[in-house]
Amino acid sequence: MTGVQPSILDTIGRTPLVALKRLSPPNGATVLLKLEYMNPGASVKDRIALRIVEDAERSGALKPGGTVVELTSGNTGTGLAVVCAIKGYRVIAVMSEGNSVERRRMLEALGAELELVPQAGASEPGKVSKEDLDRVEVRAQELTRELGAFRADQFFNPSNPAAHEYGTGAEIWEQTGGDVAAFAAAVGSGGAFVGTARALKSRDASIRCVAVEPEGAPYLAGRSVVNTRHKIQGTGYATTPGFWDESLVDEYLTVSDNEAVKMARRLARVEGVIAGFSSRRRCGLRRGCPSWRTS
């Protein structure tokens, strides 16, 4: 039947770009937001989940009936749960107790098993630090060994940036007709930034690619890390992804919790876009104005 997708996996990617005309400055650059929440798992991480699983199937690293283990703040685990629900794999999502309850509920609804790890030091729900993530990583490694499971390993798996190089980045180029001046993304595992920047710069080396980190943890920028515990979940863990490529970065920017919360609320009230604090995937069209940063 025309227009009918074989499964939910066939709806991953090909998300729309929307112009933020009400938030952009008058007579300034056109600022675009890629609506990754329109993926079935409601985030950009669906892209890497599908690529990681299918690459593992092709290589033989993941066999029928196998178990997938991964650390997550919620989105990667959700993406893996969506993919594995269709493909028939067991999923164990290892999370800090500091991550949101809503993410836990979504994972459980999709059939994933949760392994919750206590926070390091004082518990601060909604704020997960590098120390918390280190604990989650230790438990994910233990489970992978104990179960003989396949580890998705989003911070080091080259399938992560590949999903964006051949998906997100290629889509942005096509959707804008190549009229892109700059691209900015918050850095978590780093795959979205590296893959998208690589795709765009391979087509036009003049495109400025900007990596965004939380204000207290500008680790990749080489500045002092004051605090890795913040509200911008999934980013700012003061670690270098295994596939990080410094040559792709033209500039680093930081954002505070208050700025992220304020902009998420403005996006909803002014542009009608429901987005999280770590909303990413923006690019400015060439309009001869440097004010694309106002996104």
Tokens (6 digits) for 87: 């493909």
CA distances from 231 to 234, 237, 259 (A): 9, 12, 11
Place of tokens 């518990």: 123
Give percent helix, percent strand, percent coil of the chain, each to the nearest 5: 40, 15, 45
Of 73, 96, 278, 295, the active-site residue reads 278
Tokens (6 digits) for 83: 């993919």
Who contacts 150 (Cβ-Cβ below 8 Å, separation ≥6)? 56, 61, 62, 66, 67, 68, 69, 144
Phi-psi region of 16 (alpha: psi -120 to 50; beta: other; left: phi over 0): beta
| DSSP SS3 for 176 | helix
Who contacts 175 (Cβ-Cβ below 8 Å, separation ≥6)? 16, 17
Residues 194 and 161: beta-carbon distance below 8 Å: yes
Q: Is 127 a catalytic residue?
A: no
Q: Is 63 a catalytic residue?
A: no
Amino acid type, 8? I
> Sheet containing 17-19: which strands, arranged edge to edge?
17-19, 31-34, 282-284, 182-186, 208-214, 251-255
* Residue 260 C-alpha from the chain's centroid: 15
Of 45, 127, 130, 201, the active-site residue reads 45
Which sequence positions are flagged as catalytic?
Answer: 45, 278
